[in-house]
Amino acid sequence: MENQPLRDEDANLHSKPKKFRSTSWKVFLIVSIVAFGAVLVYSEREKRDNREIQERYHGQIQTIEARLREGNCTEASREYAAAKKTREEIAQRGFYYSFDSHAKQAHAIEIAECYAKRRQYKTALSILEREPVNDPDGLLRASVIYENAGEKRKAREARAKAENY
């Protein structure tokens, strides 16, 4: 009994699982390669999109600074509003910029100073109310704007906050 040759149906039973295993291995390999390729394509696309949005944001900051140098407060303010939206988009993507506070506060105070130089104190004060200043330099600069606008109490408060730092 031990040396009996395999019957045809026994041979078919043994060959089917091997065929199935080799096919499943190939499918697994193909699916893995496709998935890996998709991840690479998605990753590269995300990198490109992130780079583009960061470049747009940096361009907006440069435009704000150029408008401030020109003394064009209105255009600087408009570009600042656009930069805030871009910064929010960047934050939604999970990025954090260390210069966020600079872009958020320093440009706001610079725009407020631009309006104050033109004696448009109402606009300058509305910017200070919308974009509170929290660093010592900004508080001192805000105190000067408040002082020139006739807001003596707010000027003293800003100066006192700056001194407490």
Residue pLDDT, tens place only, 106-130: 688 999 999 999 999 999 999 999 8
Cα-Cα-Cα-Cα dihedral of 38, 41, 43, 46, to 10°? -120
Helix (H) or strand (E) holding 141: helix 136-149
Separation between Cα atoms, residue 148 and residue 163, nearest integer Å: 20
Tokens (6 digits) for 43: 């990753």
pTM to 2 decimals?
Answer: 0.66
Residue pLDDT, tens place only, 50-79: 889 889 989 999 999 999 999 999 999 999
